[in-house]
Structure 1
Amino acid sequence: MFRKCFLVAVGAVMQGFAMGVFLFPNFIPSGGGAGLTVLLNYWFHIPLSIALWLVNSSMLLFAVHYLGGFSALGTLLGITITSISVNIFNVYLESPFSHVWIDLVFGSIFFGTGVSILLRQGISNGGMGVIALIIAKYKNISPGKPLFWINGIIFLITSYVIDWEIVFQAITCQWMSTKIISWLYNVSIPKNIRNILTFDFVWRN
């Protein structure tokens, strides 16, 4: 249990680092959940904070029904840590680069790595990650592919709301990050290295 919680925290912080330092400062949506948030705000004038909560909470209901209670609690933990991390990194850290495409590359790498850590624990990163994880579970495939297609469709819809260049950057970010997710999700880590990385302590009675 400690190992799982530790890895969820690591994945969530890494995801928050990518968003807070590289993606959000350039107004690049990190996923389909952010796209749905924009659409709810545009169509129904719902405040962005409330719209984001509605999107993530509705996804949590799917997680409870299809993935089990632990996955839902883990997703809630991941969302909370990610949100806190975004605020901290956004306030106290700035990207060392001054070019949006360089930020996009590094943001995609850190974001994809963080999400893959969460998905390997059976935990969604929130938003459309829940749907992707459900599809992956029942189709026995990597969640990277369904995540890319779901988010890509949402980005195309939100192109009516936000600038086309930003949408293109968002799709590029999703393509890069989901490639990383697909690879890291299936990679096999030797047990001795996994134990070292996750601080697998042995308690003696």
Structure 2
Amino acid sequence: MKQFISKFVLVILGGIFQGFGMGLFLFPNYIPSGGAGGIAVLIHYWFGMNIGLALWLVNASMLYFGVKILGKRFALWTILGITVTSISLHIFGQTFSPNRILWFDVFAGSIFLGTGIGILMRQRVSNGGIGILAMIISVRRNILPGKPLFFVNIAIFLLTAVVIDWKIIILAFLSQWISTIVIDQICQFSFWRTYTLNWRKK
């Protein structure tokens, strides 16, 4: 029970950190936080759908692959994580300042984003969307999840840049580089239990 409560709190915390970074810093500048975030930004840009709802739908649609390979328990925890992220994104996204400092937003948003994703992946929970594919790759190859997540997201960034603005690809690349470093550092921290990618399907 203690382990369950600890994991529950950390998943909630990871979702809040991720939603805070995206909603307050990255998405107001149309900077995709990753593959799922990029698709959510495009849906919002094209159809005007609430970006939190768009992100949840994109993330939920990817869970099928996670369930098949990583198990039902993984899917349930991931649903909790992406739901908290989407709610946090909606809440923090309402706090918009017209006087934005772009480079500060990129740096701060990437730090919070990477921290949130790192906490989730440390708990064997995906941040959803493309993160699920990164988790599958990391499990199959027994490597840290940050770098697979980085490379898988590049294609989505290119599409977002073509549709919205080419400068986005530079900002998105920088954001992913910063958040990838943070993710891998959190996954390797030694003051938590030893990180392992040898997960069993449950």
Per the normalisation by structure 1, the TM-score is 0.82
- 2:21 is equivalent to residue 18 of structure 1: yes
Of the candidates 59, 62, 66, which is equivalent to residue 59 of structure 1?
A: 62
Query: In 2, distance between residues paired with 1:39 and 1:17?
Result: 19
CA drift at 1:96? 11
> For residue 131 of structure 2, what is the aligned residue in structure 1?
129
Identity score, percent:
52
The one-letter amino acid paired with 1:78 is G
- 2:166 is equivalent to residue 164 of structure 1: yes
Query: In 1, distance between residues paired with 2:24 and 2:162?
Result: 26
Write the deviation string for residues 42-100 of structure 1: whole angstroms up to 9, x where unpaired: 9xx77756764553222111111111111101110011111111122222x45697311
Of the candidates 181, 184, 202, which is equivalent to residue 183 of structure 2?
A: 181
Query: In 1, distance between residues paired with 2:115 and 2:55?
Result: 23
Write the deviation string for residues 131-162 of structure 1: whole angstroms up to 9, x where unpaired: 00111111100000000000112212332212
Unaligned runs of 5+ in 2: 194-202
CA drift at 1:24? 1.3
- Mapped contact 1:22–1:95 kept (Cα < 8 A): no
Say which is worse superposed, 125-134 or 156-165, in terms of deviation. Answer: 156-165
SS in structure 2 at match of 1:123 = coil
Of the candidates 33, 36, 39, which is equivalent to residue 39 of structure 2?
A: 36
The one-letter amino acid paired with 2:186 is L
Q: Residues 189-204 of structure 1: matches in 2 within 5 Å?
A: 189=191
- Mapped contact 2:56–2:82 kept (Cα < 8 A): no
The one-letter amino acid paired with 1:166 is I
Q: Greater Rg, structure 1 or structure 2?
A: 1
- Mapped contact 2:55–2:86 kept (Cα < 8 A): no
Query: In 2, distance between residues paired with 1:40 and 1:99?
Result: 25
> For residue 73 of structure 1, what is the aligned residue in structure 2?
76
CA drift at 1:121? 0.7
- Mapped contact 1:97–1:103 kept (Cα < 8 A): no
Query: In 2, distance between residues paired with 1:79 and 1:63?
Result: 13
Unaligned runs of 5+ in 1: 192-205
Shift of the 38–111 alpha-carbon distance from structure 1 to 2, 3 Å rule, reads closer
Please identify runs of 4+ aligned residues in structure 1 that moved more than 6 A.
none
- Mapped contact 2:56–2:83 kept (Cα < 8 A): no
Per the normalisation by structure 2, the TM-score is 0.84
Shift of the 155–14 alpha-carbon distance from structure 1 to 2, 3 Å rule, reads same
The one-letter amino acid paired with 1:169 is L
SS in structure 1 at match of 2:191 = coil
Say which is worse superposed, 182-191 or 51-60, in terms of deviation. Answer: 51-60
- Mapped contact 2:21–2:109 kept (Cα < 8 A): yes
SS in structure 1 at match of 2:62 = helix
